[in-house]
A and B are shown apart, each in its own frame.
Chain A
Amino acid sequence: MHIAHLTLTNVRSFRRLDLALEPGRHVIAGDNAQGKSNLLEAVQMLATARTLRGGTDLDVISWPAVEEDPLPVARLEAAVQTAQGKRTLEIAVIAQETPPGMRPTRASRRFRVNGVARRASDLIGQLRVVMFSADDLEIIAGAPAVRRRYLDITLSQFDGAYLRALQRYGRVLEQRNSLLRKLQERRGRPDELDFWDDELASTGALIAQRRADAIRALARDAAERYAELAPSEAEDLAICYVPRLPPAVAEAIREHDLADRLRATLVEERREDILRGVTRWGPHRDDVQFLIGGRHAGNSASRGQQRTAALALRLAEVELSTRRSGDAPVLLLDDILSELDPARRERILQVAYGVDQVLITTPDEDRPSREEMPDAVRYRLAEGILTRQ
């Protein structure tokens, strides 16, 4: 698949960007703070329907638009070409209505697919991307929430059932936790939990099983890629799923009756959950372990090892996404080539030639060089204006 056209209006540093793209490799060079990352993050948002980590919807809208326009709107549009045909995707981020003179503090998102208003879940997966960036280190070294977010974004792009279960799970969990707090105050009756436990168990079991499957595939491929990227390294990379389930239930994660077992856990643990006012078991508390040489990569591996592990994980993700959907994702390389040694850079570039389209940002016009990537279309980005070289 590839992006045939990208239009950004009032998106971050872009007042207007209108870009026709062919398949192949595209290198966008620019000094820091010129909006290179914003460009790739906008593409990622069109794929995942999510705003950036730590950012709000309002942050997507360019500041001049927020300051000057009567109704500030950021618009992201892409035409995507796949084997099945062309589709258009659109996200509008609309600032909340405010009285004159007041700045908006919130914004909301509207989605369109082929011109028709849709929900976020209908947009997700229409364009699949794998983004490589310096932030990937956080997947290895950050909090468990970062790893869950990584899994959710990755799986949602090619597994519609996972995405639907995830969204339903989130809503059910919120309802169940509210009910637990109410029961904690001795209002209501515990059997009001029945429905929410059923729903949490059926959606939670699907999420846990799909995560287990995906992590098994990622672990296998990432271990191979890690060994290739660091041939001189004696230690190996292992990735394991740590589902937040009682051990006996976790052992049965591949069984078809996992939902029943999870439901039984939720019912057994009700008293304790009510006491704490929170649901303690289930995939919302899952984690993924990265082990290098058998030790936790997050706290005992070197920075270099962590970086290599993150790179190996992204490469494994490209393979998984391709295998699961029969079509390679668009690669987004956000300023990662300049810091890699030549051997690793070569490995990444090799992968870049195995997919339909790659968008690369770099502060250094020579990373990748014209020898490394002779056929690349090259652009220069300065002050929000993109110029083809």
Chain B
Amino acid sequence: MSPIQRLVDAFHRLPGIGPKSAQRLAYHVLRAPVEEARDLAEALLHVKESIVLCARCQNVTDRSPCRICADTSRERTVICVVEEPLDVVAIDRTGGYRGLYHVLHGVVSPSDGIGPEDLKIEELLRRLRDVDTEVTEIIVATNPNLQGEATSMYLARLLRPLGLKVTRLARGLPAGADLEYADDVTLGRAMEYRQEV
């Protein structure tokens, strides 16, 4: 395989990149100065080599425990459970939430072959069973779509017997919307008016 074709194929494998876009990107790299190409290659490798999952919240981080888990000024009684690392960024940006997080890295979706066992649920249970845990409330902030609701329901049934209050972000987030793209005001309000499931 030619080097250029290898690059085109590599871009094409990325989400949201069609064959024509892959070609455009590859030719852009081809024409760009060598420093730019090296910078891109190093950035790609660096992210894989230096980023780990936080042993507590499973968020991506360059050190474990991550900054949020290590931050002693944060409330330790509440954990907000989200689908993806970007959701942590979105919720924290609102400034209205000062508790801890837990990243599931996905949602229950049988048709995509993803069951509860494929998510970081066992890791969440381990945190809650810890003798030092101060957690009394779990906010399930999965997206307001079918898979997000399925995940939230599954977690609620699992966590309620542990004597925890389980809440869900308030409606007001448009159905089918992604947390990642919700504006700060909407997201802040959804957090404030969360409801027990």
Q: Does B154 sit at the interface, judged by CB under 8 A?
A: yes
Given A171-B146, A195-B149, A195-B150: A99 and B117 interface contact (C-beta under 8 Å): no
Which of A99, A182, A188, A198 counts the most B-chain CB atoms under 10 A from its CB?
A99
> Which A residues between 169 and 190 are near B, CB-CB below 8 angstroms?
171-172, 174-179, 182, 187-188
Interface string of B116-128 (1 = CB under 8 A from A): 1100000000000
Contact: A195 with B20, CB < 8 Å? Answer: no
Which of B113, B116, B150 counts the most A-chain CB atoms under 10 A from its CB?
B150
Contact: A97 with B20, CB < 8 Å? Answer: yes
Contact: A188 with B117, CB < 8 Å? Answer: yes
Q: Does B19 sit at the interface, judged by CB under 8 A?
A: yes
- A contact residues around B111 at 8 Å (CB): 174-175, 177-178
Contact: A192 with B154, CB < 8 Å? Answer: yes
Interface string of A147-183 (1 = CB under 8 A from B): 0000000000000000000001001101111110010
**Alpha-carbon distance between A195 and B109 when the two chains are bound, in angstroms:** 12
Given A97-B19, A99-B23, A175-B109: A192 and B115 interface contact (C-beta under 8 Å): yes
- B contact residues around A196 at 8 Å (CB): 110, 150
Q: Does B74 sit at the interface, judged by CB under 8 A?
A: no
Given contacts A177-B111, A188-B117, 10 further A-B pairs with CB under 8 A are A96-B18, A97-B21, A171-B146, A179-B115, A182-B113, A188-B115, A192-B110, A192-B115, A192-B154, A199-B146
Given A97-B18, A99-B20, A172-B146: A195 and B153 interface contact (C-beta under 8 Å): yes
Cβ contact of B108, chosen from A97, A172, A177, A192, cutoff 8 A:
A192
Q: How large is the interface on B (under 10, 10 to 19, 20 to 34, 35 or more residues)?
A: 20 to 34
Contact: A194 with B115, CB < 8 Å? Answer: no
Q: Does A98 sit at the interface, judged by CB under 8 A?
A: yes
Contact: A168 with B146, CB < 8 Å? Answer: yes
Cross-chain pairs A/B with CB under 8 angstroms, 29 sampled: A96-B18, A98-B19, A98-B20, A99-B23, A168-B146, A171-B146, A175-B109, A175-B110, A175-B146, A175-B147, A175-B150, A177-B111, A178-B110, A179-B115, A182-B110, A182-B113, A188-B115, A188-B116, A188-B117, A191-B157, A192-B108, A192-B115, A192-B116, A194-B153, A194-B157, A195-B149, A195-B150, A195-B153, A198-B153
**Alpha-carbon distance between A174 and B146 when the two chains are bound, in angstroms:** 12
10 tightest CB-CB pairs across the interface, nearest first?
A178-B110, A179-B110, A97-B18, A178-B111, A195-B153, A195-B150, A99-B19, A175-B110, A188-B115, A97-B20
